[in-house]
Amino acid sequence: MARKRVAVLISGRGSNMVALIEAAKQQSYPAEISLVISNEPEATGLVHAQSAGIATAAVDHRPFGKDRAAFERALHILLDDRKIEIVCLAGFMRLLTSWLVEQWSARMLNIHPALLPAFKGLDTHARAIAAGAKQHGATVHFVVPEMDSGPIVAQGAVPVLAADTEAALAARVLAVEHKIYPLALKLVAEGRVQIRDGQCVIDGIIRPNGVAPDFQ
């Protein structure tokens, strides 16, 4: 079966993007990373993508001012031109309008550094520590108009330790992110994930919390 053409949207260092690029180096992986787009022209992730030989584009949001629709049309045209089939948001720090989200309905994934539905939004690690959470982690989910919501494809948990700093917890979570994003993209690219009543059905089984990192 032809490998799915994937675009990764980033804003910064792009370590999740690198994890996806590494996974896609295997010929048996069902997706290829065909394009990386950053809204930050100086994003270090763009350099990594270029050195991996992947087409990149910088679409700076600033010249568009408050015209989010025009910014998103520019993104959409690029995605369309490159015949992208699945979009992976990976540290992409722009909220998307429902227009773009609807264009990519059931074909756009995001990774969030928390066990959704807990800790939507920013500063998830500090908030997990402050809340006394015993567990924390990361989630890959389909993107829907409401932020950090949408059917969950994969989730990985880590313990929160008594001595944890925000940085220590972030590093533990990031290691899980780098496992679950390639896993989730694989499942979606293989057509093994359906969405029913706002939940993922994976290999025919309803999985409200998605699958865990060791899922095959």
Catalytic residues, by residue number, are 112
Show the beta-strand stretches assigned E in 25-173: 31-38, 56-58, 86-89, 108-112, 135-142, 152-159
> Which residue from 24, 31, 113, 172 is in contact with ligand GRF, where contact means CB under 6 A?
113
Asked if 39 touches ligand GRF (CB under 6 A), the answer is no
Start-to-end CA distance of the chain, whole Å, equals 18
Q: Decide: helix, strand or coil at residue 117.
A: coil
Residue 84 vs 176, nearer CB to ligand GRF = 176
For residues 133 and 140, give the distance between their C-alpha atoms in angstroms, rounded to a whole number. Answer: 20
Asked if 56 touches ligand GRF (CB under 6 A), the answer is no
> Which residue from 91, 182, 210, 213 is in contact with ligand GRF, where contact means CB under 6 A?
91
Alpha helices (H) in 90-207, listed in sequence order: 98-103, 124-130, 166-189
> Which residue from 23, 38, 177, 189 is in contact with ligand GRF, where contact means CB under 6 A?
177
Which of positions 71-90 make contact with ligand GRF (CB under 6 A)? 90
Binding site for ligand GRF (CB under 6 A): 10, 12-17, 45, 90-91, 111-113, 138, 174, 177
